[in-house]
Amino acid sequence: MPVYFFTLLLNPMPLNVEQIRKDFPILERETQRGKRIIYLDSTATSQKPVQVIEAMNNYYRRSNANIHRGVHTLAEEATAMYEGAREKIAKFINAATSREIIYTRNTTESINLVAYSWARANLKAGDLVILTEMEHHSNLVPWQMLQAERGIQLEFISVLEDGLLDLDDYAALLDRNPKLVSFTHMSNVLGTINPATDIIRMAHDAGAITLVDGAQSVPHLSVDVRALNADFYAFSAHKMCGPTGIGILYGKSALLEAMPPFLGGGDMIKEVKLRSFRPNTLPHKFEAGTPAIAEAIGFGAAVDYLSNLGMDNIAAHEHEITAYALERLEEIPGVKIFGPAADKKGGVAAFTLEGVHPHDVAQILDQDGVAVRAGHHCAQPLHEKFGIPATSRASFYIYTTKEEVDMLVNGIYKVKEMFG
Amino acid sequence: MDDLYREVIIEHYKNPAYRGKLDPHDISFADNNPLCGDHIQIDLRVGADGVVTDARFDGHGCAISQASADLLIESIIGKPLEDVKKLNKASVLELLGIDLGPVRLKCALLSLKVLKAGIYGLGEAGDELVE
């Protein structure tokens, strides 16, 4: 039996949500006159606490300089801050060394890095890559592009009606000698937390390398890449209280060492001649050009912020809110929720309301300051699987309260009235 | 906001007069709004004099996209194709009688883009068609 995450949480401490909300100035904002914003779109991007905003401001106010190779004080400070953030991030996901932490722009670029560097060096025509039907476009399109270029084969682990992966289907696919299994740790639509440890172990038993899309899991769960035994693990800062424009590719150093560079340019080289170059050592080998320095520092501050709260405490809070939200939403006639029960999912509730398009639901909710997302959430094939063009999606984070869920529910009743 | 969901829009969404397909037709074209997956197909019959004699739309999407398609079809039946080609963003907003932000504007303009791409025989309903 696969072990799902919430069976593992031990004695979490309740979050002091009232105190946390004071760290997020944007939550004071009114988007509609007299109505404070109710931000239920953290799965798209989370809000940012003052600690993160200030860390980036301080860097620009006091320490701004380009990193590496500089010997003056500012350059040294900037380098130390940039590399210090990498250390924090490595520790946060329990990587063996910060050399395994590659800065990228976001999860999408991290996946593309593996597709361009590792896959183009290791996959040939006919080689099998296993994905799942619940992938975000960012873990579909890079492989479709490689399929068009190289003639690799793609197969997809089925999603069952209850939103869980069909692990029997997966076991059958593994008999076909796959080279790579690339899957999301947590679905951005269904909220399903996949049994990553089992999926990875089964892949390794079949001789395949694994890549995990952790865009939704790292912000919400305690993730330990060594316990998971993941070969590659990708995630973004902006969904976990950090800034946009910076993400991470974690890779086991033996794999990263053997891979050709990705983008060419400054900083990724050890030596350059007119007709040749030698690549730099890890992690710089994969970091060409001046990177997002302030954003990396902001990412480090975000990791500090979440670590102080405790990832297990965060997961427990979101679980409580999600269970409450599912219960309240299920009461509403005409509402259909997609994905598994609360004990197998993260803080996401994607739903449809009979007779009303999700865009209209989102727009009318916005009138009361309730921010939800509507559309296919970059998972069009998953929506097609369930026979719907789009869903409305409410998502929850460390600052979400039950009162906000109540406002969402009241808003949906109002939508029903308008479309009556 | 309450303007956005004026009764006329909800009414055209729930009870469209021109939803359906025409077979045979002289022009038929369909495209999606990639942002949200709204889908519109438009079929036209055009007389020898170049006048639209009949038209229908089909597809799925939000109230704004579907109501605007219905209103658009209503407005072009009996009109010369040459006049239909001149329709733009302002014409659709006038039909809807509301003002829209940039995201919802895409919903409202999908039907006009599909209509014009069909008339011009283009492969894709691009934004430039409604500027």
Count CB-CB contacts under 10 A for residue A381.
16
Is A153 found in the same domain as A143? Answer: yes
Nearest chain A alpha carbon to B33: A375
Q: Cβ contacts of residue B56 below 8 Å, gap of 6+?
A: B18, B19, B20, B21, B22, B42, B43, B73
Q: What number is the ipTM of this complex?
A: 0.74
Residues from B in contact with A at Cβ < 8 Å: 1, 4-5, 10, 14, 35-39, 60-66, 104, 107
| Catalytic site includes residue A378 | yes
Is A284 found in the same domain as A154? Answer: yes
- Structural domain span for residue B116: 7-121
Query: Per-residue pLDDT tens for B39-83?
Result: 999 999 999 999 999 999 999 999 999 999 999 999 999 999 999
Beta bridge partners of A157: A132
Closest by CA to B130, choosing from B80, B92, B78, B98, is B92
More confident residue, A270 or A84: A84
Number of domains in chain A: 2
Name which of A356, A364, A374 is nearest B36 (Cβ-Cβ): A374
Residue A12 near residue A315 (C-beta atoms within 8 A): yes
Average pLDDT over residues B111-117: 96
Q: State yes or no: cis peptide before A283, omega within 30 of 0.
A: yes
Number of domains in chain B: 1
Are residues A390 and B5, on separate chains, in Cβ contact within 8 Å? no
Are residues A389 and B60, on separate chains, in Cβ contact within 8 Å? yes
- Structural domain span for residue A283: 52-308
Is A65 found in the same domain as A199? Answer: yes
Read off φ and ψ for residue A344, nearest 5 degrees.
-120, 15
Residue A95 near residue A226 (C-beta atoms within 8 A): yes
What are the DSSP calls for A407-420, one per residue? HHHHHHHHHHHHH-
First to last CA, chain A: 45
Where is the domain boundary, A308, A338, A364?
A308
CATH value at residue B76? 3.90.1010.10
Is A213 found in the same domain as A91? Answer: yes
Residue A178 near residue A148 (C-beta atoms within 8 A): no
Where is the domain boundary, A269, A289, A308?
A308
Q: Say how far apart CA A108 and CA A130 lie, in whole Å.
A: 18
Q: Say how far apart CA A43 and CA A139 lie, in whole Å.
A: 17
Greatest pairwise CA separation for chain A in angstroms: 72
DSSP letter for B51, please.
B
More confident residue, A403 or B99: A403
How high is the pLDDT of residue A82?
97
Query: Helix crossing, B63-76 with B89-96: angle to 10°?
Result: 100
Per-residue pLDDT at A7 exceeds 70 = no
How close is the nearest chain A Cα to the Cα of B56, in Å?
A: 21
Q: Which residues of A touch B38 (CB under 8 A)?
A: 359, 389
More confident residue, A137 or B131: A137
What's the number of CA atoms in the CB half-sphere (13 Å) around residue B2?
Answer: 2
Q: Which of A353, A360, A365, A419 to mutate to test the interface with B (most CBs of B within 10 A)?
A: A360
What are the DSSP calls for A250-261, one per residue? EE-HHHHHHSPP
CATH value at residue A357? 3.90.1150.10
Q: Say how far apart CA A134 and CA A184 lie, in whole Å.
A: 8
Is A376 found in the same domain as A304? Answer: no
Per-residue pLDDT at A332 exceeds 70 = yes
Where is the domain boundary, A273, A308, A343?
A308
First to last CA, chain B: 24
CATH value at residue A144? 3.40.640.10
Beta bridge partners of A273: A276
Q: Is B53 helix (H, G, I), strand (E, B) or coil?
A: strand
Query: Per-residue pLDDT tens for A202-217?
Result: 999 999 999 999 999 9
Query: Per-residue pLDDT tens for A59-117?
Result: 999 999 999 877 789 999 999 999 999 999 999 999 999 999 999 999 999 999 999 99
Is A315 found in the same domain as A300? Answer: no
How high is the pLDDT of residue A372?
98
Query: Per-residue pLDDT tens for B72-101?
Result: 999 999 999 999 999 999 999 999 988 888
Residue ranges of the alpha helices (H) in B1-131?
A: 7-14, 63-76, 81-84, 89-96, 102-120
- What is the pTM for the complete model shown? 0.90
Are residues B64 and A359, on separate chains, in Cβ contact within 8 Å? yes
Is A72 found in the same domain as A199? Answer: yes
Per-residue pLDDT at A1 exceeds 70 = no
Q: Is A151 helix (H, G, I), strand (E, B) or coil?
A: coil
Q: Is B55 helix (H, G, I), strand (E, B) or coil?
A: strand
